[in-house]
A and B are shown apart, each in its own frame.
Chain A
Amino acid sequence: MKTTLKLFTFLMVVFSFLACSDDDGDAVSEFTVTTISPESGTVGTEIRITGTDFPSDASNISVSFNGIPATVTSVSTTEIVTTVPSGATSGQIEISANGFRKTSAATFTVLSNLVSDTVSNLEAPQTGGQGQPIGGPFTKFSFETGAVTDSETDWDIAFRGTTIAVNGGTATGTNEEPTRNGNGGATVQNGIFSDITSADGLSFDQDAAGSFAVPAGSGEGWYNYNPATFTVTPIPGRILVFRTHDGKFAKVEIISYYRDAPAEPDAFLNESRVYTFNYVYNPNEGETALE
């Protein structure tokens, strides 16, 4: 019954359109574009173009992003919905319909995809400890390359034992710490990894004299130390959100502090100070999205 009604309505609509086109077939009006939203996005992002007098048949419309044709997924007289095509680059959006052609006033920015990856077995050795002064160089990591780096400047976070430094702020006073020359920062959030969808609105701490942006110590930052089993385990629900040295954003969930991430580490059998962590990195300048 419902289907019949829908079909009937559809036929009526088609009929009325056909009837109209019979009446004023050649009088095609020029369409207008009022907004394009959003003005940036990764490949596959849905883009809505609103305006007036769009043709109602998608086959009469073509949209391209800096010359790369895009597929129109739905259309009405006031809205065209399309997606950023694969291979698109930043530039103007061009819309053609009913013989008219228009280009967007503003440049559409095609964003790089979020990088989602796992870093396995990052070694973060230290010397001393257990009453002796802690030392040894930090292992520096760059989200841009997704790898450990020796660069003095292009690093974002650095590991030594359970301590995590950021490339932002000032020296904390610990031995052999890397020089901070970027604008990095960190904040510890609670949630599951996918809960943290954006860095927008978060306030970031930087390393400072006597304190790290990711608080050091059991139960304070990212880990718990169990004095009965001598194991270090990540605190469930602690997600670290970083601002990189060059102002981009990433989130990190530490999975393990032991080589090959055993489910139940044994402090005597499994090598410690070996990080495995998941991260999502937004490589786009000024973009806060993390999901």
Chain B
Amino acid sequence: MSLNKNNLTLIFFTLYLTFTIGQVEERRDSILTQDLEEVVVTATRTVRQLSSLPLPVTLIPKTQLEQTGVTRLDEILNEQTGIIMTPDATVGGGEGVQIQGIASDYVLVLIDGVPVVGRSSGNLDLSRFAIGNIKQIEVVKGPSSSLFGSEALGGVINIITEKPSSENISGQLSHRMATFNHHNSNFSINQRKEDLGYSFFVDRLSTDGYDLASGDVGQTVNPFDNYTLSGRLFYDASEKLDFFVSGRFFHQDFDVAPSTSMEQDLNLLVRANHDPSSKTNLQYELYYTNYITDEESLDILTDEVLLANDFNQKLFRPEVRFNQKFGENTFTLGVGGNLETLQRNLFANNVSFFSQYVFSQYDFTPLEGLNVIAGIRFDNHSEYNSQLSPKLSARYEISPSLAVKGSVGSGFKAPDFRQLYLDFTNASGGGYSVFGKEVEAQGIQRLQENGEIANLAVNPAQLGQRLNAESSIGYNLGMTLKSGKLTTEVNLFRNDFTNLIDTQILASKTNGQNVFGYINRERVYTQGLETDIKFNGIKNLSLSGGYQLLFAYDKDQEDALVQGNVFARDPETLQTVRLERSQYFGLENRSRHTFNFKVFYEIPKWDANANLRVVYRSKFGLTDRNGNDLLDDFDNSFVDGYSLVNLSLGKTLFKHYQLQLGANNLLDFKGSNPLALQDNEVLINPGIQLFTRLNITF
């Protein structure tokens, strides 16, 4: 087979054909299972031992997923050090993941190495991802744009699915019931027969949702039901060539009659893995994903359409990766392209992007005990300035029990469709308008021609000037110390963000409302320390604890404070006072301290296990309330620190039946949202959620 790199289509077609015709040859099992040590693939895009990596990586193994009884990705991530699920309390609803103090918009989520799309206001809803058939979840902290391109600033979350390994049909059937009429059923079946393997997974979740604000109409989370179907095929064409095909479909309906709200997600992946020699590996990948939301809000009385929001995003991505080993060293080269389209009814036109990228990495050991990984990626884009993203990381093993590691890398996030193409005038909300960068000049001109513009707030020459990608540089410096059964990891981090995209007022309208546009403006940083301690010294008992210290501030706001240009109103006199630097609390939704503590206990003679997990986050603020654009001591929007305690008990009966009982938020923490209107109570958490789950394996 000839590989002409200039003709990707031909290669893929050929490969696909090869696969479908099925020229069969035996091939040994994946190298993923070769090593008993924990291995990850996200950090380098090659298989690497977790303990030897020069980067901060969190690995959530299958056993933890099973024993905790969680069913959705957001629930398990919240229990990891330095990862917080932050409810968007100002809007209600969706949760976002925060890593090293970096918001969900800047965290890339992958399934088997390919990105999922579909963000609502930048936030990717992780409860969309059912946990089933998962081998492990890998979280690489800090920027990884040198490998993954856009969005990999705060970190990368990679959900790795399991490969079938048994000759016999195996699988499981389970049902989970919980508070709020939550019912989650799933079924999976796997088999591997000689050179062919398959795996299917079906999941259904329905719940009545819950309400954090009893005083208002409607619920915080409306009743919904969703389905996940996923199927995967594994085929070893020869000892040197194997194929992987994966499909996933997710569909969710909210019960919000007479309105409608639907969400749908489709992922299709074809991957060929070719090892022409024992030192050379080639991977060919074709990926397609389609994310659709369909929302229509109707007035309950008149059936008048208040808001219609249809969103249809597609991404097609071919990628080729080449790995060459030179002794212990590995050279990686990758090339690919992203073709993205979006149809949205709030946009002037359908929009599409085409971007191309190339990345390279060298993973080598210049000295004994010293591992260095150097990588760089170039992204060329049609709509914003091109990006070069380098990264350098190194780990030095001082002794078998002590190692230090450090990395410096850059990350970026491309301006999203909304920031480029939104053309929106809110008719029901008073008539303000928002324009994306690419359409703002025409938008303003259109409003001017209609006589709707009172004052232009910006220089007309600046309208439509290109946005830069939001970018960051991340620094991590850590050490690992093993002494006996105790493992301690400490990591210092700093992330400097520039060119964050903010909204600005472009003009005021004759109706008294504003026209908003987007601008690169903000400079923020997050820095702190994270530490993890694991202890396995007692038989059948595993203890772990984690802590993160975090400082997250806007640099421009800090400068303005030093210059004495930031003000607040004294709540007593209502007069303006000048704010001091010490009165600046920091970025919204960031807690200075977060802790987690986990105990897993196994009782082999009863074939049972129990675990208790505690997560704590200290005080955080939700939003500026006094009009100075920053969170300060005078803002009445702080949520006091709180703990969530989760308990799960499991027992295996008759070998194939696992029964689980437990409670999430065992102490029934509810909290109080400071943004609630007078005489209304709004909770932070819906309270204790009891669950039971029966799992039958076969």
Is the pair A216, B574 in contact by a Cβ cutoff of 8 Å? no
Is the pair A190, B565 in contact by a Cβ cutoff of 8 Å? yes
CB neighbors of B among A250-269 (8 A): 253, 255-256, 261, 263-264, 266, 269
Is the pair A224, B576 in contact by a Cβ cutoff of 8 Å? no
Complex formed: what's the CA distance from A217 to B678 in Å? 26
Give a binary string over A75-119; 1 marks a CB under 8 Å from any B CB, 0 the rest.
Answer: 000000000000000000000000000000000000000000000
Complex formed: what's the CA distance from A21 to B571 in Å? 65
Is the pair A237, B575 in contact by a Cβ cutoff of 8 Å? no
- Give the residue among B90, B508, B565 with the most A Cβ atoms within 10 A: B508
CB neighbors of A among B624-658 (8 A): 625-628, 636
Complex formed: what's the CA distance from A128 to B430 in Å? 13
Across the interface, B567 reaches (CB within 8 A) one of A131, A192, A227, A264, namely A192
Asked whether any CB of chain A lies closer than 8 Å to the CB of B301, the reply is no
Complex formed: what's the CA distance from A218 to B508 in Å? 9
Among residues of B, the one whose C-beta sits closest to the C-beta of A270 is: B678
Is the pair B575, A253 in contact by a Cβ cutoff of 8 Å? yes
CB neighbors of A among B410-468 (8 A): 429-431, 454-455, 457
- Give the residue among B90, B457, B567, B573 with the most A Cβ atoms within 10 A: B567
Asked whether any CB of chain A lies closer than 8 Å to the CB of B512, the reply is yes
**Residues of chain A lying within 8 A (CB to CB) of residue B77:** none
Asked whether any CB of chain A lies closer than 8 Å to the CB of B603, the reply is no
Asked whether any CB of chain A lies closer than 8 Å to the CB of B572, the reply is yes
Across the interface, B430 reaches (CB within 8 A) one of A227, A237, A261, A266, namely A227
Is the pair A210, B576 in contact by a Cβ cutoff of 8 Å? no
**Residues of chain B lying within 8 A (CB to CB) of residue A253:** 575-576
Q: Taking A130-B430, A233-B626, A266-B677 as contacts, is the C-beta distance between A216 and B576 under 8 angstroms?
A: no
Complex formed: what's the CA distance from A114 to B505 in Å? 38
Asked whether any CB of chain B lies closer than 8 Å to the CB of A228, the reply is yes
Q: Taking A217-B513, A236-B567 as contacts, is the C-beta distance between A266 and B627 under 8 angstroms?
A: no
Asked whether any CB of chain B lies closer than 8 Å to the CB of A211, the reply is yes
Is the pair A192, B577 in contact by a Cβ cutoff of 8 Å? yes
Asked whether any CB of chain B lies closer than 8 Å to the CB of A220, the reply is yes
Q: Taking A227-B429, A233-B627, A263-B572 as contacts, is the C-beta distance between A210 and B567 under 8 angstroms?
A: no
Among residues of B, the one whose C-beta sits closest to the C-beta of A210 is: B454
Asked whether any CB of chain B lies closer than 8 Å to the CB of A135, the reply is no
**Count of chain A residues with Cβ under 8 Å from any Cβ of B?**
36
Complex formed: what's the CA distance from A219 to B457 in Å? 12
Interface residues of B, dominant DSSP: loop
CB neighbors of B among A183-216 (8 A): 190-193, 210-211, 215-216
Among residues of B, the one whose C-beta sits closest to the C-beta of A223 is: B627
Asked whether any CB of chain A lies closer than 8 Å to the CB of B566, the reply is yes
Complex formed: what's the CA distance from A108 to B360 in Å? 83
Asked whether any CB of chain A lies closer than 8 Å to the CB of B569, the reply is yes
Asked whether any CB of chain A lies closer than 8 Å to the CB of B45, the reply is no
Complex formed: what's the CA distance from A142 to B574 in Å? 23
Complex formed: what's the CA distance from A264 to B571 in Å? 8
Among residues of A, the one whose C-beta sits closest to the C-beta of B579 is: A236
Is the pair A210, B574 in contact by a Cβ cutoff of 8 Å? no
Complex formed: what's the CA distance from A236 to B630 in Å? 12
Asked whether any CB of chain B lies closer than 8 Å to the CB of A229, the reply is yes
Asked whether any CB of chain A lies closer than 8 Å to the CB of B510, the reply is yes
Complex formed: what's the CA distance from A216 to B507 in Å? 12
Is the pair B678, A269 in contact by a Cβ cutoff of 8 Å? yes
Among residues of A, the one whose C-beta sits closest to the C-beta of B572 is: A263
CB neighbors of A among B565-614 (8 A): 565-569, 571-578
Is the pair A234, B569 in contact by a Cβ cutoff of 8 Å? yes
- Give the residue among A217, A219, A220, A261 with the most B Cβ atoms within 10 A: A217
Is the pair B578, A192 in contact by a Cβ cutoff of 8 Å? yes
CB distance from A102 to the nearest CB of B (A): 47
**Residues of chain A lying within 8 A (CB to CB) of residue B454:** 210-211, 216
Complex formed: what's the CA distance from A233 to B569 in Å? 10
Asked whether any CB of chain B lies closer than 8 Å to the CB of A36, the reply is no
Is the pair A255, B567 in contact by a Cβ cutoff of 8 Å? no
Across the interface, A263 reaches (CB within 8 A) one of B457, B505, B510, B574, namely B574
Asked whether any CB of chain B lies closer than 8 Å to the CB of A278, the reply is yes
CB distance from A27 to the nearest CB of B (A): 58
**Residues of chain A lying within 8 A (CB to CB) of residue B512:** 216-217
**Residues of chain B lying within 8 A (CB to CB) of residue A256:** 574
CB distance from B564 to the nearest CB of A (A): 8
Q: Taking A193-B576, A220-B508 as contacts, is the C-beta distance between A228 and B90 under 8 angstroms?
A: yes
Asked whether any CB of chain A lies closer than 8 Å to the CB of B548, the reply is no
Is the pair B505, A220 in contact by a Cβ cutoff of 8 Å? yes
Q: Taking A217-B508, A220-B508 as contacts, is the C-beta distance between A237 and B455 under 8 angstroms?
A: no
Complex formed: what's the CA distance from A234 to B512 in Å? 16
Complex formed: what's the CA distance from A13 to B625 in Å? 65
**Residues of chain A lying within 8 A (CB to CB) of residue B514:** 217-220
Asked whether any CB of chain B lies closer than 8 Å to the CB of A239, the reply is yes
Is the pair A235, B627 in contact by a Cβ cutoff of 8 Å? yes
Is the pair A192, B576 in contact by a Cβ cutoff of 8 Å? yes
Is the pair A211, B574 in contact by a Cβ cutoff of 8 Å? no
Is the pair B627, A224 in contact by a Cβ cutoff of 8 Å? yes
Among residues of B, the one whose C-beta sits closest to the C-beta of A254 is: B574
CB neighbors of A among B480-530 (8 A): 505, 508, 510, 512-514
Complex formed: what's the CA distance from A172 to B514 in Å? 18
Complex formed: what's the CA distance from A130 to B427 in Å? 11
Among residues of B, the one whose C-beta sits closest to the C-beta of A227 is: B429
Q: Taking A192-B567, A236-B568 as contacts, is the C-beta distance between A278 and B575 under 8 angstroms?
A: yes
CB distance from B104 to the nearest CB of A (A): 21
Complex formed: what's the CA distance from A211 to B576 in Å? 26
List 22 contacting pairs A-B, 8 Å CB cutoff, sorted by A. A192-B567, A216-B454, A216-B512, A219-B505, A220-B457, A220-B514, A229-B677, A233-B626, A233-B627, A234-B574, A235-B628, A236-B568, A236-B569, A236-B577, A236-B626, A236-B627, A237-B567, A237-B576, A253-B575, A261-B574, A263-B574, A269-B678
Residues of A within 8 A of B (CB): 130-131, 190-193, 210-211, 215-220, 224, 226-229, 233-239, 253, 255-256, 261, 263-264, 266, 269, 276, 278
The 4 closest A-B pairs by CB, nearest first: A237-B567, A236-B567, A224-B627, A255-B574
Contacts A215-B508, A220-B508, A233-B627 supplied; 16 other A-B pairs, CB < 8 Å: A131-B431, A190-B565, A192-B567, A192-B578, A211-B455, A227-B429, A227-B430, A235-B627, A235-B628, A236-B626, A236-B628, A237-B576, A253-B575, A255-B574, A261-B574, A266-B678
